[in-house]
Chains A and B, each alone.
Chain A
Amino acid sequence: MLTKEMYQRYSRQLLVEQFDETAQQRLHNASVLIIGAGGLGCAAAQYLAGSGVGHLLIMDHDNVDLSNLQRQPLYREADVGKNKAESAARQLLTLNSEIRISPLVYQATPALLEALMPVVDIILDCTDNLPTRLMINEAAYYFDKPLFIGAASGNLAQFIALSPRQRHGCYACLYSPDQHTGNNCLTQGILGPVVAIAGNYQALAALYYLSNINTPEWGQLHVFDGMKMQWSQYAIPKRANCSICGDR
């Protein structure tokens, strides 16, 4: 049952044809682990909080830097030097105090992921490097949790929705560890709207999945080129010998 205030707060999404009270209730009951509170995490978290996802767990061990404000809209000048997860949680609660937000001031490790996986429904990979992404992929597959991956650098954004229950390949079937180039926002720069596009894709796919009003297109790499204003899409086949998803 939604309260009168909830009806009012979520009225505009309840007006969307496929979205109803049951969908809203599903969001309210959902827990989402957002790993990384940079450009991707900020974009995704604010829309998931606004939409009424019941519990957001936001993990980031980093502090806000002045150079983050250009593309990480959850932070204010006063947050510079403060932890990102805690600053993001504070800001998100001013947007929606009806939901739970757990800031996790840690760096992702296999042991930490192992402890968190059982209590969340889905994971948003909002991190910034290939080794961490491969670690999250392994944990998501081990614990059978859908994984929504965003990535961005320069003028490029990428998005992938992975379901351990589907027959497509996983992140380790897409990129090999030695394809790590170290290209990140420090070397290649990043435009705010480009990283937000990837984060919003993550939020939208999560919203569809959690409310059960639409099925994400699993196992597809979506690639956005800002210079061309164009998306391309590629299937990720399962590798027969993949150590993460191969035996499924």
Chain B
Amino acid sequence: MTAPATNLQKTDAPVVASVRDLRVHFKSKAGIVHAVDGVDFDVRDGETLGLVGETGCGKSVTARSFLRLVPMPPGIPVSGSIMFHPRQRCTACDGAGCVACDHTGRVVSTCPACSGTGCSTCEQTGAETLDLLTIPERDLRSIRGNRIAMIFQDPGKALNPALSIRKQVAEVFYAHRSDELLASAGIDPSSHSLPTGLLRRRATQQSRTLENVLLSLPPLRSRRSAITAAADDRVAAALAETQIPNPRAVMDRYPHELSGGMKQRVMIALALACDPDLLIADEPTTALDVTVQARIIELIKELQQRHKTAVVYISHDLSLVRRVADRTAVMYAGRIVEVGDSEQIFHEPEHPYTRGLIDAIPGAHHERGRLAAIEGTVPELIDPDPSCRFAGRCDFAAEVCWTRDPALEPVGDRQVACFIHHPPEHGEAPTFDRTAR
């Protein structure tokens, strides 16, 4: 499969989210684990950004940080920001796509502090800017599952075994689309009468036992059923979008009654239900059968294009990421070591670690049979010294690599963190010529 032709246009697409100097550590008996230790990258509107790296390098922690799902404790939030620019439905075309919204159907929400003229909160962009790591819990909840959604590695674990598929998908609509549900049920959401209050609490899942009793009796009963029916319609439509056959029947099933691929489709339906700006897919096919993997990948791509959603696609498989991602960020031991266009990275890797990864793919660059695995193991992430994290496994490491930390800096269209590309101010720079092989 070749790279999507849209690659080059995507370079100047607006940024949906930018991660800056993200550091998340963990307290452990042996010391502080620097699981994510200074990660920087941008996700652009509508693109797929691949995040690759070996197991334990901090991919999931980075992903979970977007929605503040890293357990704290043991996690320690050290520093960093994740600036998110939410979008809203384009009013000119009502989401159909027009020139004003660049055919995405969505436009950037304007900064409420300056109404779009540019101020310090939005860094003069005029776009609404939220730091996901610091906004209040309430605001974060309205983003979770709505503007930013997440798919997990194992759908068997991410679905609640005790609740039907219907209930689990409907929850998203109750959480973020209660006004629409009320409107579909023929109830004026802006009314302040007591029955509407009760129904609104029902549509936002706040009803307590006593209220539920009231709602199950006439005269509220029929309107309550209308809300449920409105939610059911949306659940069925969301499931149908992921090509689940016979969605109305699947709705009444429980997770254990579905296959792994089916469960992941449910997770995808759930994630895309509210048309998010950003979808974070943490190894969405790793737990699935090989035969199912390809179909799930295709489905994510297809839905992404239809919804114009930006995707962060996490995987430890570089050749898979090359297929799905427009751009790729390579992660090593809690850091991003190289970011850029997927094809470019694949054909001319700049960072020694990326080179090693590509060499390790059978038949990628070499004659058949040549398999070059990277020697050595990932370094201890516990209280690391200031040095290049890769120095212990790097064929080109020089003196400086052991005493200084290379920063992620531009190299052509790309960014690379290696002294070969950015010679240090003092000391001899490493070069690709000085191979130890």
Verify that A and B bind, or say they do not: no
**B interface residues, Cβ below 8 angstroms from A:** none
Q: A residues touching B (Cβ–Cβ < 8 Å)? A: none
